[in-house]
Amino acid sequence: MLVSTKTVSVNSLETETLRVAPGGDGSFASRHLGSGESDMGVMLGALGVGTMGDLMDATVPPDIRMEEALDLPGALSEEEALGRMREMMGRNQVFRSFIGQGYSDCVTPPVIQRNLLENPGWYTAYTPYQAEIAQGRLEALLNYQTMVCDLTGMEVANASLLDEGTAAAEAMAMCAGMRPGGKRFLVSELCHAQTIDVLRTRAEPLGIEIVTGDHLGFEFGGDDVLGVLVQYPATNGVIFDYGMMAAEAKEAGVPVVAAADPLALTLLKSPGEWGADIVVGSAQRFGVPMGYGGPHAAFIGCRDVGKRKLPGRIVGVSHDAAGRPGYRLSLQTREQHIRRDKATSNICTAQVLLAVMAAMYASWHGPEGLKRIARRVHHLASLLGERLRQGGIEVSAEPFFDTLEISCSDAEQAKVREAALAAGMNLRYEGDGRIGISLDETTTAEDIDDLLGVFGLSPMEDGAATMEPWQSNLPEGLLREGELLPQKVFHLYQTETEMLRYLHRLESKDLALNESMIPLGSCTMKLNAAAEMMPLSWPEVAKLHPFAPADQAEGYAAMFSDLESWLAAATGFAAVSLQPNAGSQGEYAGLLAIRAYHRARGETGRDVCLIPTSAHGTNPASAVMAGFKVVAVGCDEEGNIDLDDLLAKVAEHRDTLGALMVTYPSTHGVFEEGIRNICEVVHQYGGQVYMDGANLNAQLGLCQPGGIGADVCHLNLHKTFCIPHGGGGPGVGPIGVAEHLAPYLPGHREVGERAEYVVCSAPWGSASILTISWMYISMMGGEGLRAATELAILNANYVAKRLEEYYPILFRGANGHVAHECIIDLRPFKDKAGIEVEDVAKRLMDYGYHAPTMSWPVPGTMMIEPTESESKAELDRFCDAMIGIHGEIRAITTGEADGGNNVLKRAPHTAEELLSDDWDRPYSRESAAFPTDATRRHKFWPAIGRIDNVYGDRHLVCTCDSVEAYAGDGR
Amino acid sequence: MNVPTHLKYAESHEWLEEGADGARVGISDHAQSELSDVVYVELPAVGRKVAAKESVAIVESVKAASDIYSPVGGEITEVNSKVEQDPSLINSDPYGEGWLFKIKVDEGADLGGLFDGAGYEGLIG
């Protein structure tokens, strides 16, 4: 107690230095934080609390408070941080990349880079759960799904996965669902090496054996084969005709998975045509920079029979209340937030922004443009192969698409490597003397000359003239049949004006952070500052291949090292892995580390994972993936872990207790008092504590997962550390671990360590967007981060205070305060007025707001998380909206408004409806459209009326062909 | 809630109607109401042998996915393909057209663990 009192006084003192008006001292922190001293004072006053220090004392349990300030460098200004980043990244060397292996250089069309990738209207949106204000990216994602189906020959595709390796692992899990008795997954040895590693890691805890070999030797007899995976074209570039193999597999009832290259598929027979059941791959080369590993969108498609086993999010078509076509996320109940430990995947966040980029790339080039790019790449590869052969060099067998392989001695390989490095080129070097050369959209005739030079051959005498006629080594039987991408959307936007307007039209249908606060509980929709985003577009950040030699990526190495040590300091852990490229993947990686730790100590039986019933559904899904059995622990009425039940469960499973997963502050938005005790109890019984870092935004600078007693914690950099949500991805989910778990952090073959724990394709996952978090921490410094946490907590308590008169606040801590979010109860209105959470959510759209988190963790409630970046004025505007809605509900209870035909039940209201000549509702148009003065000054119009969820799930349509049939117009 | 008295009920909200050619199974009115609009049903293969309380089918609404457990041990003899085509039958007529499957009950199976109408009403009340 004494210690914490001292700490608080130190903290309070430091806080003083930051309590200035927003922007007042010119520091970045003063721009990031929504309120300055005077507004903070007003909010504290409303709470009846004297100082920020007092509020923290009363909110955060004293026994977990940090004793010292965060050990981080002092804050830099935006200019200083950008300068340091530029200096650091300047140490990267951008060589021409011919490495391939699933990553190809490409050209991001400037119209897409500027108006989509760099546009906050696109990158600050949330996952499109609120369909009526997300029609833009839902349409773009439907285009993506359509593109994937058309290229792969599959009938259903999802709206993206994290990367190709994890997509292959998801496909394996689907196969396991189709073949319950299967134990062996056959994988062609010519799949990308990193994919095989990801598969092995994923297979081991599930008791699945990965069998690699020549696909021609695969035998499918017996029931123990659960599926087969081949690469198309193979990792060495060769295009095999897998038709016979697929037919044999089909005969035996074994599902066939193809990992395919989308650019090659514009020319080649689709996997669907030759018999694949599931197709995965990476859409990176469709205009998304390599970014030293990511982020990029992976894809997965399957035949219609598999659609309910397809992991991740699927956009479907339905209609709104007025019968207009509209898009929505369909089949939500397959997801882990419903299925929990029965889910076969933990995937939540995917790669929406990157999937949209890839779809727009396809629209921009159209089928003819895509084929032209593919033919050109193939032509240059054929030409290179021919010239190399003429020069007496042994080149791999044809047919190949863009990648060829050269066999030579180790000595010759060394010579080539030296010459290539001198010429600024990276080739792929295998251990046995083989050299891979993979061409891409950016390859020029001059590059071919340079490559020939590396092998000691003279350049092509006729230079660019050799670009015509197109050369091809592709046999007729392997060519794609049928029209490519016939859908309208891939034909309408090939001038810059049309594309510019299409992107703008879609963007303007979506509510993002550039419109208003998105108060989603547990999602931390804070500011994604422009300065944080800028380095992403620099070539020295964007254009590195993930497997480029380490000495060309010294800038990245320095940035990783900073970020790892800062995150370790912030969380109180010994080591950090930046690899997991989503929060769910962080959970999986952390649990794998716990599992490996127990096993290394000979305690193989520790396979029980305790998970509170209040946990997010991803927790149990991740636990099952990591080989744990899930045992639920109850919660008390306050939403806290039921200590008696916990004690009973740890005692019952004393010999098998592996881990407890706990979210802190709790999923109910409260700093639980007993957390330290809970961690101690779990440790006493031999278990490890996994902390879900979803709510870390309430901890930074005040307390630390490591200090509280957790052994592992994942951090959502897309929540606490400012990576934008991208409209549903990318995310990044690093894990921090205590010292004893450090040997079990994810590794990678390309960095030569721990290749048995590989959770995603690239060594540092989505490396390029780590720059965003680096910038944030640099510009905030330790004090700024703590000030952000304090203000996030103050803002949540202020909102709770303003709303408590109208809506019951469900959970509070010991002294009546919430943490960084609050849950309001709407259940009483169901009986009184027939109003449910959904009605309030849809009505909020009319007020210009995205709804808070709905019905989680408690059905019939809303969870509001304002974050530190919202100003008091914006908090008030939001509270005014909620209070206005309360008045509208009251009008129903008093009988002033109709019970069924009212502004809530009919919400949201579109401009079309309100301006229609027919208006027969018992309320005025004005009250529907302009419920507040703020909406009169600026109005955000929902694109469609309330979406019909039931119709959409009963009549599943998830490609655009049918949309045109519905809408009669490609728009 | 409609709770017909001639049926037997499992704690997990399935009903069972004994008949000459085996027993019919579906979900109760209470269960369909809790699920809201059913959008999808996955039924077991005919001929499958199941144990009592074994998960045999899935019923999904837009807000929930629910496993359906066989109230008794036996062999699946018939499934209601109409309900696969039109899952809304489960909402509109849970005890009639919305039935899920027929099961030939194992000889000597103990139905004593199931509730009668009054007992089930007490459970959901």
Let me know how many helices (H) and strands (E) chain B has, helices first: 4, 9
Q: Which of A172-181, A236-245, A566-575 has the lowest mean pLDDT?
A: A172-181
Distance from CA of B19 to the nearest CA of A (A): 32
Q: Flag whether pLDDT at A341 surpasses 80.
A: no
Cβ within 8 Å, pair A333-B64: yes
**Tell me, what's the pLDDT at A961?**
67
Instruction: Write down the mean pLDDT value for chain A.
Output: 93
On average, the pLDDT of chain B sits at 93
Q: What angle do CA A313, A316, A321 make, to 5 degrees?
A: 125
The pLDDT value recorded for residue A633 is 95
* B65, B87, B88 member nearest A333 (Cβ): B65
Cβ distance A121 to A510 under 8 Å?
yes
Q: Which residues in chain A are closer than 8 Å to B42, comparing Cβ atoms? A: 308
pLDDT digits (tens, 9 = 90+) for A912-968: 999 999 999 999 999 999 999 999 999 999 999 999 999 998 888 888 864 444 444
Question: Residue A777: helix, strand or coil by DSSP?
Answer: helix
pLDDT digits (tens, 9 = 90+) for A102-147: 999 999 999 999 999 999 999 999 999 999 999 999 999 999 999 9
The ipTM assigned to this model is 0.85
A223 pLDDT tier (thresholds 50, 70, 90): confident
Enumerate the residues of chain B whose CB falls inside 8 A of the CB of residue A338. Answer: 63-65
Cβ(B89)–Cβ(B83) below 8 Å: yes
The pLDDT of residue A288 is 98
- Average of pLDDT values for A251-273? 97
The pLDDT > 70 percentage for chain A reads 95
Tokens 């970014």: give the residue.
Answer: A291
Alpha helices in B14-116 (DSSP H): 29-35, 81-85, 89-92
Q: CA A366, A368, A370 angle in degrees (round to 5)?
A: 70
Q: What pLDDT, on a 0 to 100 scale, did the predictor assign at position B64?
A: 81
Contact B64 A308 (CB under 8 A): no
Mutation pick from A129, A954, A955 vs chain B, by most beta carbons of B within 10 Å, is: A954
pLDDT of residue A4: 31
CA A786, CA A784: separation in Å to the nearest integer? 5
Which tens digits make up the pLDDT trace of A604-648? Answer: 999 999 999 989 889 999 999 999 999 999 998 888 999 999 999
Q: pLDDT at position A24, please? A: 67
State yes or no: pLDDT of A8 exceeds 50: no
Q: Which residues of B touch A954 (CB under 8 A)?
A: 39-40, 87-88
**Is A718's pLDDT higher than 90?**
yes
Evaluate whether A380 touches A440 at the Cβ level (below 8 Å).
no
Higher-confidence position of A397 and A395: A395
The tens digit of pLDDT for each residue in A791-811 reads 999 999 999 999 999 999 999
Query: Which amino acid appears at position A90 of this protein?
Result: G
pLDDT given for residue A17 in this prediction: 42
Residue A282, strand partner residues: A298
In this prediction the pTM is 0.95
Report angle CA A276, A158, A184 to the nearest 5 degrees.
Answer: 45
Q: Choose the most confident range, by mean pLDDT, from A144-153, A323-332, A743-752.
A: A144-153
What is the 3-state secondary structure of A246-272?
HHHHHHCCCCEEEEECHHHHCCECCHH
Closest by Cβ to B40, choosing from A338, A342, A953: A953
Q: Which of A332, A339, A954 sits opposite B87 (nearest CB)?
A: A954
Is residue A295's pLDDT more than 80?
yes
Give A304 to chain B, closest Cα distance, Å.
14
Please write the tens of the pLDDT for every residue from A442-496. 999 999 999 999 999 998 876 544 566 677 889 999 999 989 999 999 999 999 9
The answer to whether the Cβ–Cβ distance between B64 and A338 falls below 8 Å is: yes
Contacts of A497 (CB under 8 A, 6+ apart): none
**B42, B62, B67 member nearest A953 (Cβ):** B62
A6 pLDDT exceeds 90? Answer: no
pLDDT of A19 > 60? The answer is: no
pLDDT of residue A406 exceeding 80, the answer is yes
At residue A945, the pLDDT reads 98
Distance CA A184, CA A712 (A): 31
Give residue A213's identity as a one-letter amino acid code.
G
Predicted confidence at residue A333, as pLDDT, reads: 72
Q: Residue A279 is which amino acid?
A: V
pLDDT digits (tens, 9 = 90+) for A826-840: 999 999 999 999 999
User: What is the average per-residue pLDDT within A743-772?
Assistant: 94
Position A348 pLDDT exceeds 90: no
pLDDT at A466: 59
